[in-house]
Amino acid sequence: MASDPARQAAIVGIGCSRFGRGLPESQLGLGAVAFKAALEDSGLARASVDGLSIHMGWPLGPDYDRVADAFGLDIGYVNQSWLHGRFVTHCLQHAAMAVTQGLAEVVACVTAISFTRERDILGGPGDVEGNREEGGTHAESPPYGLTAPAGGAALAMQRYMATYGATSAQLAAVPIALRKHAAANPAAVMRAPITLDDHQGARMIVDPLRLLDCCLVTDGAVVALVTTMERARDLRQTPVRIAGMQGIRAGREEFIFGPRGLGLNQQSVGTAPARARDLAVYGAAGIGRDSVQGFYTYDAFSPLVLFALERFGFCGPGEAAAFVQDGRIELGGALPVNTSGGLLSEAHVGGWNSIAEIVRQLRGAAGPRQIQGASCLQWGTAWGDSILFRT
């Protein structure tokens, strides 16, 4: 990040399409709606946007050049990544680096998802993604019939439960809390309250994950506009500063759907407390973890919330199942998590709906979901990437 505060990166505009199932708009159409909303939110003109950081490439969306053409942009900087939740941070990091290093003035981070149009390549006979993974980071193993990402999270949670004595009833606290948040969010797809009995009575998807432990399959788009703090001073909204960040962790000791020691393939046996490299984001931002007032994570499956909380040291190995009880991660609790409802209840927009919520929270514009006095919020995932946002 730039050492000059004026050159630090910030989100200055956020725009969303509607979220839902079976929406008639194309991905580009949804993205265009979100892009126009982000321009209106920021006060920027379309011609000001000279960079793209795309989170929607093949096989689940159009490439950057198609987006630039459709949006009527003249682009001088591009980053593009697959439409996986682990590239939310990557997408924002590239935007931040581009504007702080002078490669672009304003970068539009764009994701647009039409999951309900893409079912044939997500777990169906033509599952391009499942076959590409080939037992890799998600643990899909198509030759053995395990093509769903839920399988990897389920295997990690099975080992977690066996190791630490955690239960499905404890895990239920995650979707119950996030549904409470969604109930206060008019944009959320699922708003009806759920109870422990609802969770325990829901059908099993991949043991021990039940239906309510698995994310929604939805359509929608989010666009975030990133520029420097210097440029942000002249714009419509209070900027949300990218105060510190750290990248995706990968290697033989990493598995994205489980903590180190609880995943698959080359991991060591046994887990350990958060390491210094897992906590680097706090040093980069110059703050302590205790300053974080809300935590946002990629909640494609309920266990990922537990694993992320442990990865960043909010609790020790095996402690997260107890940590999330008694309203601790609900609004009004010690550490609210995914206050818009997340992927489990608001919508699956690749995690970007949580980035939009972070911006609303730090502007003090989240309405009944507002974290009082919010000034420092964290996005961090079970696979180690993170960004700290500040006012």
pLDDT digits 0-9 by tens, 251-308: 878 887 888 888 766 567 777 789 899 999 999 999 999 999 999 999 999 999 999 9
Contact 80, 142 (CB under 8 A): no
Confidence class for position 118, pLDDT limits 50, 70, 90: low
Contact 108, 52 (CB under 8 A): yes
Rounded mean pLDDT, 334-353: 97
Task: Report the length, in residues, of the chain.
Answer: 391
Whose CA is closest to 20, among 180, 176, 187?
187
Whose CA is closest to 149, among 141, 140, 162, 137?
140
Going by their DSSP bridges, the two strands 240-246 and 9-16 should be labelled as antiparallel
Q: What is the separation of C-alpha 20 from the centre of its chain, rounded to a whole number of angstroms? A: 18
The total of structural domains in the chain comes to 1
Average pLDDT of the chain is 90
Confidence at residue 81, expressed as pLDDT on a 0 to 100 scale: 86
Give the list of residues 6+ apart from residue 368 with CB closer than 8 angstroms, or none.
Answer: 184
Give the list of residues 6+ apart from residue 84 with CB closer than 8 angstroms, or none.
Answer: 350
Is residue 109 one of the residues assigned to a domain? yes
CA–CA separation, 319 vs 315, rounded Å?
6
Residue 227 DSSP code: E
- The pLDDT tens digits for 176-231 are 999 999 999 999 999 999 999 999 999 999 999 999 999 999 999 999 999 999 99
CB atoms within 10 A of CB 3: 7
Confidence class for position 380, pLDDT limits 50, 70, 90: very high
Is residue 292 one of the residues assigned to a domain? no
CA–CA separation, 82 vs 36, rounded Å?
23
User: Using alpha carbons only, how large is the chain's radius of gyration in Å?
Assistant: 20
Is residue 35 one of the residues assigned to a domain? yes
Is 342's pLDDT higher than 70? Answer: yes
Give the list of residues 6+ apart from residue 132 with CB closer than 8 angstroms, or none.
Answer: none
* Residue bearing the bigger pLDDT, 83 or 41: 41
Residue found under tokens 């997500």: 122
The whole domain housing 9 covers 5-119+217-239
E strand or H helix that includes residue 241: strand 240-246
Is residue 279 one of the residues assigned to a domain? no
Confidence at residue 145, expressed as pLDDT on a 0 to 100 scale: 66
- The pLDDT tens digits for 149-158 are 788 899 899 9
Q: Report the amino acid identity of residue 89.
A: T
User: 126-155: string of b/e by CB count within 10 Å (b at 16+)?
Assistant: ebebbeebeeebbbbbeeeebbbbbbbbbb
CA–CA separation, 158 vs 323, rounded Å?
18
Confidence at residue 64, expressed as pLDDT on a 0 to 100 scale: 92
Going by their DSSP bridges, the two strands 386-390 and 240-246 should be labelled as antiparallel
CA–CA separation, 215 vs 218, rounded Å?
9
Contact 260, 268 (CB under 8 A): yes
Domain of 20: which CATH number?
3.40.47.10
Going by their DSSP bridges, the two strands 294-296 and 240-246 should be labelled as unpaired
DSSP 284-303: HHT--GGG--EEE---SBHH
Tokens of 208: 């021990």
Is residue 66 one of the residues assigned to a domain? yes
Is residue 22 one of the residues assigned to a domain? yes
> Which three-class secondary structure state does DSSP give residue 358?
helix
Q: What is the separation of C-alpha 159 from the centre of its chain, rounded to a whole number of angstroms? A: 24
Is 137's pLDDT higher than 70? Answer: no
Confidence at residue 178, expressed as pLDDT on a 0 to 100 scale: 98
